[in-house]
């Protein structure tokens, strides 16, 4: 009788176990949920877009925008809907339910995704999305488009010496990361040591561009471009190289169209424009999103930056890009 009871109990526990795992965090008690997920060198599978509202045992809430598995462990890319900060989390530590933009419409994140379209939207959009940030100071952004030149480390060293820990949003293309392994590691060291505070922005994987071709047929408007691949392959590369993608995406050449903008919104990415691409002339003012290219391809922009900075004409402090929308 006793044995039978034990057997029945074992069967009951086995039947309930999957429900218990599905319903609640299982790692919280042994501290795994608090530990940072180390994704350096990971091989990621089943990477896809989702949109879920999640809560953990500690009462924190976040929105999940991607899911993936790493060596069989299910992971989430999550966003804090107020601060816009992103984090890779173990999905077992969170209880998630499908969400949509309407259910989350009161959040700062959804408001930032819903920037109003300009009147009489032309077919090719230049500099669509977030072009100017909130408040005083300025938002420094640097694009790392594919380049045969090395990273302009001197520019970044000068920045960190003058403004230790300066926030900078670096827009990285997949091909730049692949072909600049040593520079990439150096950048990560600048971030880990606190010399710079880097936000990692997706700048597409291949960053297609053909000189002399009209904007309507180059950049991500090149016929045949697979936008999912351009976005996801870059994100996967970033994650497997140990950094967390931010909520921002910068269009190559700042060129897009209404369909690409909608695509970004549907994947919960904010298009990052600029009102002060220094090499092209516009001077920064308070709240400006400044654009330079530390990839060796646009030295003139870096020179202008240094000159303006020496003259005190760059609005300070530099602010994290998450504060811009
Ligand atoms: Zn670029």
The Å distance, Cα 142 to ligand 1 centre, comes to 9
pLDDT tier, 9 (very low <50, low <70, confident <90, very high otherwise): very low
The Å distance, Cα 150 to ligand 1 centre, comes to 15
- Walk me through the domains of the chain, giving residue ranges and CATH numbers: 40-105 (no CATH), 125-323 (3.20.20.370)
For Cα atoms 66, 71, 72, give the angle at the middle one, nearest 5 degrees: 70
The Å distance, Cα 69 to ligand 1 centre, comes to 30
Task: Please name the residue ranges forming H helices in the chain.
Answer: 2-23, 108-113, 153-162, 174-179, 181-192, 227-240, 258-266, 299-310
The Å distance, Cα 231 to ligand 1 centre, comes to 14
Q: Distance (Å, rounded) from C-alpha 254 to C-alpha 271?
A: 9
- Reply yes or no on whether the pLDDT at 24 is more than 50: no
Q: How far is CA 106 from CA 60, 81, 84, 113, 143, in A?
A: 17, 9, 14, 12, 32
Residue 104, burial from CB neighbour count under 10 angstroms (0-12, 13-18, 19+): middle
The Å distance, Cα 208 to ligand 1 centre, comes to 9
Q: Look over the chain and give the mean of its residue pLDDT values, rounded to a whole number.
A: 91
Helix, coil or strand: residue 283: coil
The Å distance, Cα 204 to ligand 1 centre, comes to 9
Structure tokens at 213: 């071709």
Span 233-267, pLDDT tens digits: 999 999 999 999 999 999 999 999 999 999 999 99
CA atoms within 13 A on the CB side of 254: 19
The Å distance, Cα 304 to ligand 1 centre, comes to 18
The Å distance, Cα 151 to ligand 1 centre, comes to 14
| Closest by CA position to 75, among listed 53, 52, 98, 93 | 93
The Å distance, Cα 189 to ligand 1 centre, comes to 23
CA atoms within 13 A on the CB side of 313: 12
The Å distance, Cα 216 to ligand 1 centre, comes to 16
Q: Distance (Å, rounded) from C-alpha 227 to C-alpha 231?
A: 6
The Å distance, Cα 145 to ligand 1 centre, comes to 4
Span 198-218, pLDDT tens digits: 999 999 999 999 999 999 999
Pairing of strands 73-79, 86-90: antiparallel
Cis peptide before 192 (omega within 30 of 0): no
The Å distance, Cα 252 to ligand 1 centre, comes to 4
The Å distance, Cα 250 to ligand 1 centre, comes to 8
Q: Residue 140: which H helix or E strand, with range?
A: strand 139-144
Angle between helices 181-192 and 153-162 (to 10 degrees): 10
Q: What average pLDDT score do residues 2-28 get? A: 42
Helix, coil or strand: residue 206: coil
The Å distance, Cα 254 to ligand 1 centre, comes to 8
Of 10-19, 134-143, 275-284, the one with minimum mean pLDDT is 10-19
């Amino acid at each position: 009788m006793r044995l039978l009871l034990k057997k029945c109990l074992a069967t009951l526990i086995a039947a309930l176990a999957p429900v218990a795992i599905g319903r609640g965090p299982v790692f919280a008690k042994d501290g795994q949920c608090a530990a940072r997920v180390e994704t350096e060198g990971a091989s990621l599978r089943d990477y896809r877009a989702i949109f879920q509202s999640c809560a953990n045992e500690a009462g924190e809430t976040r929105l999940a925008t991607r899911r993936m598995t790493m060596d069989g462990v299910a992971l989430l890319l999550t966003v804090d809907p107020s601060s816009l900060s992103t984090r890779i989390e173990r999905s077992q530590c969170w209880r998630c339910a499908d969400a949509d933009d309407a259910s989350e419409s009161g959040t700062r994140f959804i408001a930032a995704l819903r920037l109003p379209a300009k009147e009489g939207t032309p077919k090719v959009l230049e500099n669509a999305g977030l072009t100017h940030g909130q408040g005083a100071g300025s938002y420094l952004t640097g694009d790392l488009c594919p380049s045969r030149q090395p990273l302009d480390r001197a520019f970044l060293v000068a920045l960190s010496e003058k403004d230790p820990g300066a926030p900078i949003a670096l827009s990285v293309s997949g091909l730049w990361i692949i072909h600049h392994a040593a520079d990439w590691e150096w950048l990560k060291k600048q971030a880990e040591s606190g010399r710079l505070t880097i936000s990692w922005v997706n700048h597409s994987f291949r960053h297609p561009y053909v000189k002399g071709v009209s904007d309507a047929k180059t950049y991500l408007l090149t016929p045949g471009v697979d936008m999912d691949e351009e976005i996801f392959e870059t994100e996967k590369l970033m994650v497997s190289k140990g950094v967390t993608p931010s909520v921002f995406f910068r269009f190559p050449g700042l060129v897009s169209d209404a369909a690409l903008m909608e695509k970004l919104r549907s994947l919960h990415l904010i298009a990052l424009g600029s009102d002060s691409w220094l090499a092209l002339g516009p001077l920064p003012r308070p709240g400006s999103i400044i654009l330079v290219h530390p990839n060796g391809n646009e030295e003139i922009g870096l020179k202008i930056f240094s000159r303006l900075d020496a003259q005190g004409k760059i609005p300070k402090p530099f602010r994290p890009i998450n504060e811009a929308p």
